[in-house]
C-alpha cells in the first residue's frame, strides 16, 4: 500500500493529483534558485506572512503550502507525499483527495495566522501532509476495515514519531503541524463517522458507568481536580508553540 512499484508513467496515470502537487513543489523550488528572473518575487508574493494576510492578501492562506525554504525541505515533504498520498488518492478519488489536502493546508495556515504573531512568516506543505496523517487516523478509528493492521500500525508509529520530532526540531511551525493533523482527522471523522457505532460505544460506556457507579461515587474530589488539571494542561499544550 505504501510501497511504490509502478513505473514513472504509470504513477502519473494512477495518481495525477499527487504527481501534480510534487511537480509544483519542484517547479517552484527551481524558480526560486535558478537565476532566470527575479526569483525573490515568488517568495515575497506567495509565502505566508501574517501581517500581509491581515491586510487582505488572502491567497497567502493557501500558496505557502506549495513553497519550501530549501531543497531538503522540499524533498522531505515531497517524499512524504509520494509515500502516503497515492493510497489515499486511490481510496478517496482525485477530487476528494485534493479537497482533503488543500483544506488541511488551509486549516494549518489559518491556525498559524491566529496563534502566531503578525511578523510570522512560513512556507511548506507540512500542514497539508499532517492533514493526510490525520485523515488516516480517522480511518483507523472509524473504518478499520479500510486498512490492514500492519498499515494501521505504520501510520500510528509515523504520527507519533512525527509529532515528537515536531517539538524537538528547531524552526518548525508547531501550530501548522498540530492543526493540520487535527483538521485532517476532523475531515476523516465527518466522512467515516458511523452513528450506530457511536451509540453502541455510548451504551457500552453507560453500562460500565452504571456497573461501577458506587466505585465512582467514592472518588476523591482532590483526585478529580488533579486529573481535570492534567487534561486541561494537555489541551492547552496542543496550541502553545514550544
- Give the Cα separation of 51 and 68 in Å (integer): 19
Q: Which helix (H) or strand (E) holds 134?
A: helix 126-142
| Catalytic residue list contains 126 | yes
Active site (annotated) includes residue 162: no
What would the grid cell of residue 202 be? 455510548
Q: Which residues contact 72 (CB under 8 A, 6 or more apart)?
A: none
Straight-line distance from the first to the last Cα atom of the chain, in angstroms, rounded to the nearest whole number? 35
**By the 8 A CB rule, do 68 and 25 touch?**
yes
Q: Residue 158: CB partners within 8 Å, gap ≥ 6?
A: 84, 133
Catalytic residue, from 177, 179, 220, 228: name it. Answer: 177
Q: Which of 19, 80, 125, 126 is catalytic?
A: 126
Measure CA 186 to chain center.
10
Residues marked active site are found at 126, 177
Amino acid at each position: 500500500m505504501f510501497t511504490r512499484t509502478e513505473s514513472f508513467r504509470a504513477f502519473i496515470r494512477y495518481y495525477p493529483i499527487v504527481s501534480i502537487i510534487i511537480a509544483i513543489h519542484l517547479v517552484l523550488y527551481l524558480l526560486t534558485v535558478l537565476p532566470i528572473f527575479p526569483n525573490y518575487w515568488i517568495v515575497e508574493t506567495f509565502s505566508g506572512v501574517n501581517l500581509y494576510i491581515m491586510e487582505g492578501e488572502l491567497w497567502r492562506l493557501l500558496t505557502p503550502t506549495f513553497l519550501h525554504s530549501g531543497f531538503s525541505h522540499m524533498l522531505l515533504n515531497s517524499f512524504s507525499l509520494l509515500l502516503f498520498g497515492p493510497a489515499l488518492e486511490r481510496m478517496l478519488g482525485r477530487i476528494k483527495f485534493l479537497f482533503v489536502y488543500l483544506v488541511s493546508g488551509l486549516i494549518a495556515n489559518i491556525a498559524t495566522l491566529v496563534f502566531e504573531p503578525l511578523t510570522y512568516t512560513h512556507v511548506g506543505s507540512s500542514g497539508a501532509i499532517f492533514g493526510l496523517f490525520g485523515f488516516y487516523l480517522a480511518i483507523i478509528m472509524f473504518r478499520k476495515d479500510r486498512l490492514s493492521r500492519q498499515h494501521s500500525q505504520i501510520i500510528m508509529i509515523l504520527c507519533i514519531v512525527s509529532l515528537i520530532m515536531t517539538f524537538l526540531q528547531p524552526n518548525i511551525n508547531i501550530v501548522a503541524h498540530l492543526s493540520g493533523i487535527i483538521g485532517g482527522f476532523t475531515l476523516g471523522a465527518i466522512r467515516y463517522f458511523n452513528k450506530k457505532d457511536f451509540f453502541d460505544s455510548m451504551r457500552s460506556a453507560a453500562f460500565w458507568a452504571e456497573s461501577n457507579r458506587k466505585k465512582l461515587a467514592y472518588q476523591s474530589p482532590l483526585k478529580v481536580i488533579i486529573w481535570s488539571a492534567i487534561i486541561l494542561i494537555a489541551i492547552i499544550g496542543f496550541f502553545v508553540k514550544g
